[in-house]
Structure formats: C-alpha cells, structure tokens
Structure 1
Amino acid sequence: MTQDKRKVAVLVGSLRKDSINRRLANAIAKLAPERFSFQQLTIGDLPLYNQDRDNDMPEQAQRLKREVSAADALLFVTPEYNRSIPGVLKNALDTASRPYGKNAFAKKPGGVIGTSGGGIGTALAQQHLRNVLAYLDVPLLNQPEAYIQYSENLVDDAGIVTDEKKRAFLQAWVDAYVAWVDLVLSAPR
C-alpha cells in the first residue's frame, strides 16, 4: 500500500537570516521520508492582526490562510523569547485562525519543536505554543517532546545534524511525528 504525499506547512518563529530554528526546520525536512514535503511559510511580512480587517484581510494574510489550508499537516519550530513564543509567530496564529469560524489550522496534525542556547531549550515557549494550538484545535504530537539545546554547528549548511546523539534523537522525533501525521490523517473525519 502506498501512502499519499503529505504537505507540511512549516512556521518558523524566527525572522533572523541565520536562524538556528530555520536550520533545525531544514534538518527535520531532511530526516523525514520523501513522501513528506515541507514548505516554510513566510510570516515576517504579515501586518499585525486587527479584527477590524476580518472581512477584508490584507493579501499577506490571505496568502498565509491559503497556504495553511492547502497543507495536510503543520510543523511549528519556535525559538524562546522572554520565556514565550515570538510575537511574529503569535501574529501568524491569530491571522490564519481568523475570522472566527474560519480557522485554517483546525484539525491539521501538528508538531512543536525548537532550539535555543539555554539549558532547557525552548521548553517554556513550546508550552505556551501548545496552549494556543489546543484552542485552535490542532491535534499535536505529545510525545516525545524535543527541547533542543543549540550547540555550535548543530546543523551544517547542508541541513545535516552533525552531532550523532542529537541526530538519533531528532530522527526518533521525526519518526514519531510522521507516524502521528499518518494516524491523524487516516482517521475518519
């Protein structure tokens, strides 16, 4: 039995050109099977969400909603800023989930991961993000959790995880994510 190609919308919560979380997102895509395709969505150009525009959303917001709607699954790769998620990521969540009743994220299987230099990785940001995604009706992979402490050259320029132990851990996480996405998408809706 062959399985359909899975389209994954990736939201990276960092705007930095050399973002370590973008590097992590690239590495995850390389660890996934070929039947999974990953598209990193642009969120840095979104105007701040304003409910007054719900009936006339700016083109950037409409684009994001279309891209999320076209995806089969979601991957959130977040840094931790001041013990929470970056504002740009929260703005993207608010934008694509509105107006009320037209939530582009609903029912799409998701995964949450991130990296930072701190000892707890992005644990608190991920917990805050999970709270928001629960409200947005995103069925999330709960285990294993992945709080990756960034180290120099964790991911090389080709998107390869250079640390053998971290690569094995990330491969296990990706395998669980792939199985989760397949499980949720194969369930009757």
Structure 2
Amino acid sequence: MSQDRIAVIVGSLRRDSFNKKLALALEKLAPPDVSFAYLPIDDLPLYNQDDDATPAESVTRLKDGIRAAQGVLFVTPEYNRSIPGVLKNAIDHASRPYGQSAWLKKPAGIIGVSVSATGTAMAQQHLRNILANLNMPTLGQPEAFIQANEDLFDADGNIGPHSQSFLEGWMRNFIAWVRAFAVATGKAG
C-alpha cells in the first residue's frame, strides 16, 4: 500500500507547545496510509538573500522535506495577531531563490490552538495570504480556530471527546484535499 506523506510544520518552538501537541494528536486521527514528517524549523538561520546560492544544511533539509511530501500541514500559534517570526523565516527560506520555491502547488492545511477565545484566527488569515502568494492551494473549509482548554486533550495526549468529531472531520477533509491535488498532478503516493 502506498503512503501519502504530509510535511508538518509547527510554528512554535516552545517545549510544551499546545500546537505540537495538537499536531501529534491530529496525526492519530489520520488514515493508516498517511505518514507525517515533522520538519524542524528551530535551527534555520535568519533568511538572508545573500545566502541563496549556498544555503545552510538545515535549509536544504527543509526544502527537501517539503518537496518529498504530497501536502503540508501548518500548525501554528498566534503571536501579536499574526504568525510567529520563526514560521515566516521558514516560509521565506523554502520559497527562495526566486523561481525555485519548494512550496509551489503543494496543497496545504492550516490549523492552530491558542488560549484565546478566537484561537489562531488572525494568524491563520495572515498565513492564508502568504500561501496564496506562494501558489499553495489551501483548504478553505472547515476552518478550525481551536481554543486550548482542559477538555481539548485527554490524559494520553489524544483529542478529547468534545472536539474529536470535529477534528476527525477536519482531518478527513484535509487528507481528501491533499489527495485530490495529488491525483490531479499525477503525484499520488
């Protein structure tokens, strides 16, 4: 059985990140023929166009991981009503040099969790604008603005019962989105 590979980029570097926990819990909701590759962004240098010709190994690893995937899952917190700088740095690295973007036509999903009542709504909107510019078809519906509360995860790190049905549906839609683009482009796992 072939595997569909999803590149996962978590926009938080925090050791006990809610978003990393959400990514790991969402992975458990995916079909067994889908694999997840977590792409680290904590060791990327600050983007500098002068380095485009000789990228750091961490940049090459990031771009290779994106290219090897059928889709990309962004799981991001919201910092000051936008995406974290570390996530924007990773996006910039993988989009350069001009004409060699690893993001091009990769289907994407965006989700995030925050203690805020609005979840990560603003960060997701800003990220959607960036991904549109990168020509990444991004799942529009259902949107998922998740608030961290004591019921979101169970004791084993799984999605809790109050959110499970919604997030299972979100994951089904995301995987179907990725697969539709893989079939359309002849890049099915």
| TM value normalised by structure 2 | 0.95
Q: Tell me which residue corresponds to 2:180.
A: 183
Q: How does 1:84-99 map to 2 (within 5 A)?
A: 84-99=82-97
- Distance, in Å, in 1 between the alignment partners of 2:81 and 2:59 is 27
- Distance, in Å, in 2 between the alignment partners of 1:101 and 1:175 is 32
- Distance, in Å, in 1 between the alignment partners of 2:171 and 2:185 is 24
Q: How does 1:22-33 map to 2 (within 5 A)?
A: 22-33=20-31
Specify which of 38, 41, 52 is matched with residue 40 of structure 1: 38
Specify which of 141, 144, 155 is matched with residue 142 of structure 2: 144
Q: Deviations over 1:18-50 (max 9, x none)?
A: 000000000110000011101111101100000
8 A contact 2:6–2:35 mirrored in 1: yes
Higher mean displacement: 147-156 or 166-175: 147-156
Q: Tell me which residue corresponds to 1:128.
A: 126
User: How far off is 1:69 after superposition?
Assistant: 1.0
- Distance, in Å, in 1 between the alignment partners of 2:171 and 2:76 is 16
**Unpaired segments of 5 or more residues in structure 2?**
none
- Distance, in Å, in 2 between the alignment partners of 1:46 and 1:29 is 25
Specify which of 155, 160, 165 is matched with residue 153 of structure 2: 155
- Distance, in Å, in 2 between the alignment partners of 1:46 and 1:24 is 23
Q: Tell me which residue corresponds to 1:5.
A: 3
Q: Tell me which residue corresponds to 1:172.
A: 169
Q: Tell me which residue corresponds to 2:110.
A: 112
| Aligned residue-pair number | 186
Identical positions, percent: 54
User: How far off is 1:153 after superposition?
Assistant: 5.3
Q: Tell me which residue corresponds to 1:58.
A: 56
Matched, 1:83 2:81: yes
User: How far off is 1:63 after superposition?
Assistant: 1.1
User: How far off is 1:154 after superposition?
Assistant: 1.9
Local SS of the residue matching 2:28: helix
Local SS of the residue matching 1:187: helix
Q: What's the RMSD between the two structures over aligned residues?
A: 1.2
> Which ranges of 4 or more aligned residues in structure 1 deviate by more than 3 Å?
156-159
User: How far off is 1:159 after superposition?
Assistant: 3.3
Matched, 1:15 2:13: yes
- Counterpart of 2:6, as a letter, is V
Higher mean displacement: 56-65 or 82-91: 56-65
- Counterpart of 2:178, as a letter, is V
**Unpaired segments of 5 or more residues in structure 1?**
none
- Distance, in Å, in 1 between the alignment partners of 2:54 and 2:79 is 31
8 A contact 1:12–1:21 mirrored in 2: yes
